[in-house]
Amino acid sequence: MMAPCDRLWYLGQTHKGRQTNTEALSQPRQIHTQASVHPNVRGEEDSRCPKTSEPIRCDLTMAPTLTVGKTQLASLPVRAAQPRPPSAPCVRLPSPVQHLLSTKTKAVRPGASLVVHAQAAATAVQERTSQKTATPASLGYTMPGEFEKHAGCWMGWPDSPYLWRENAKPAQKEYTAIANAISQFEPVTMYANPESADDARAAFKDNPKVTVVELPICDGWTRDWGPSCIARDVDGKREVAGVHWDFDCYGGTIKKKLGQPTQVPDWSKDAVAGRTILEMNGLQVFEAPLHLEGGSIHSDGEGTLVCTEECLLHPSRNPHLGREGIEQVLKDYLGLKKIIWLWKGIAGDDAITNGHVDNFCCFARPGTVLLAWTDDQNDPQWERSNRAYDVLSTTTDAKGRKLEIIKIPCPPPLFRTYKEAEGVHPDHIKLGYCPRIPEERLPATYINHYVANGGVVMPSFGGPGLARATELDGLALEALQKAYPDRKVVAVKSRDVLLNAGNIHCITQQFPAAW
């Protein structure tokens, strides 16, 4: 018999990863969705919090969450759906979930039952409610630098024929090569639409370091619609949480009203995918009141952030806030002390992202920035690079240090060919997707690389008939190797990723390690 203060959680049923009606259940059930395998959660009718009298539930969507009334308490872990033998390994429970259980339980096997202590739930409700008005910065969180230790890397599988040429097959080939390269240094989780997950699994069948997890997404730009992880130190331990931005596809809400093209006509899946990823990984979610993409910011991990005016002050993003309002939200949610504003991003990156900084400038470590550079005064990039250099060379970071600036050569100007433009589904414009224009300049840059544990994966653009690009690939690799002396730099062909106006950094998102 349970103690009177104990209550059981309701179970929200799922069908193919989508939430249906939440009902009280009297019998334990093992939970299987397309994306996950969960422990059982037993239900008892009229289970209520003794202090608030609110119903106690466990709602299962793509990731389950424990709630009292409308207050989310914690997330249960999610594992990729795989056939599991009777001796399936235990699933470790995140600390927030452990604290809610009536018995000391740190891990459970699939099929086990969880009993939650009602008094602990009531206390958690009070704590979480008091934190609703607290910002991550006020709770001690900051955004780590990308060069800090990772638990892994998150990516999203491309599959839309309206965004990628030739049914996304060339892009999938490059995504596979990029994920395989990153997996040399850290684990990779590839999120894929249920309809294309089998293709992703086939691509990585020989690489156990890449795990495919089903998740409804619109596009493969995990950096932009994904969360920004934050961390804090508590009693000598590092806790990781996440900020979920109000992603609206590069200002798509306002652009649609103005009749301007958007990357995709419907970004509703991407708008919630970032939150779901955090829940899948058992991380606390902070909802930020800001239209933002992850590629528009870069942090040094010590309170300094770099961004561009072209993007963050673009009239399609947050015109109601203005510069000071945007700065305040960034400081409140990322624990920042100083924001460095550059004028514009890389040439060719104006139409869709409106000048993301991750194509142009990034931190290699605290006090050191990498800047895309050209000496060709006839190239539109020359003015952008020089104006950025003037800002960076005359400012200091949050610690008061002058910045070391390392110039990384730009590839030669690259343009989309007619054949590449025609490879996208012919109805893509009619259906509301951004047009792929032949002879349009592409935002090619080596700054758009991924920093992994002990490695760097950079894009390359050379090949037959592209002698200058091949030469600059080599020069950029040498420059990046000097900038990251303790990491191995690996180059991967990424022309098809570039055709969609991004590159390796845009399609990846680091998951900082906790300890």
- Give the per-residue pLDDT at 368: 99
* Mean per-residue pLDDT of the chain: 83
**Maximal CA-CA distance, the chain:** 80
pLDDT tens profile 372-398: 999 999 999 999 999 999 999 999 999
DSSP labels for 441-483? Answer: BP---SSS-EEETTEEEEEE--BTTBHHHHHHHHHHHHHHHHH
pTM for this entry = 0.78
The whole-angstrom separation of Cα 432 and Cα 435 is 9
Residue 82 pLDDT: 36
pLDDT digits (tens, 9 = 90+) for 217-237: 998 999 999 999 999 999 999
The percent helix, strand, coil of the chain (3-state, each to 5) is 25, 25, 50
pLDDT (average), residues 96-116: 55
229 is catalytic: no
* 271 SS3 class: helix
Distances from the Cα of 196 to the Cα of 157, 199, 217, 224, angstroms: 8, 5, 11, 21
What pLDDT, on a 0 to 100 scale, did the predictor assign at position 260?
86
- Residue predicted with more confidence, 104 or 25: 104
SS3 string, 201-246, reads HHHCCCCCCEEEEECCCCCCCHHHHCCEEEEEEECCEEEEEEEECC
**What is the tens place of the pLDDT at every residue in 152-197?**
999 999 999 999 999 999 999 999 999 999 999 999 999 999 999 9
CB 90 within 8 A of CB 108: yes
Residue 247's pLDDT is: 96
pLDDT band for position 95 (cuts 50, 70, 90) = low
User: What pLDDT shows up at residue 61?
Assistant: 33
Q: What pLDDT is attached to residue 134?
A: 87
Per-residue pLDDT band at 47 (split at 50, 70, 90): very low
**pLDDT, tens digit, 9 for 90 and up, residues 245-303:** 999 999 999 999 998 889 999 999 999 999 999 999 999 999 999 999 999 999 999 99
Alpha carbon distance 368, 398 (integer Å): 13
Confidence of residue 351 (pLDDT cuts 50, 70, 90): confident
pLDDT of residue 106: 61
- At 308 the three-state DSSP class reads strand
Average pLDDT over residues 11-34: 28
Q: CA-CA-CA-CA torsion for 63, 69, 74, 78, nearest 10 degrees?
A: -10
The two beta strands, 10-15 and 56-60, are parallel
Pick the range with the lowest mean pLDDT from 57-61, 168-172, 441-445. 57-61
Token pair 């008091």 is at which residue? 130
Q: How confident is the model over 292-347, as pLDDT tens digits?
A: 999 999 999 999 999 999 999 999 999 999 999 999 999 999 999 999 999 999 99
Average pLDDT in the 485-511 region?
Answer: 98
Give the mean model confidence (pLDDT) for residues 434-439.
92
Tell me the backbone φ, ψ of residue 503, rounded to 5 degrees: -160, -155
Classify strands 228-234 and 237-244 as parallel, antiparallel or unpaired: antiparallel
Long-range own/partner contacts, residues 321-329 (CB < 8 A, 24 or more apart):
321/290, 326/290, 329/288, 329/289, 329/290
Predicted confidence at residue 157, as pLDDT, reads 98
Confidence of residue 130 (pLDDT cuts 50, 70, 90): low
Side chain identity at 514, as an amino acid letter? A
Q: Are 331 and 287 in contact (CB under 8 A)?
A: no
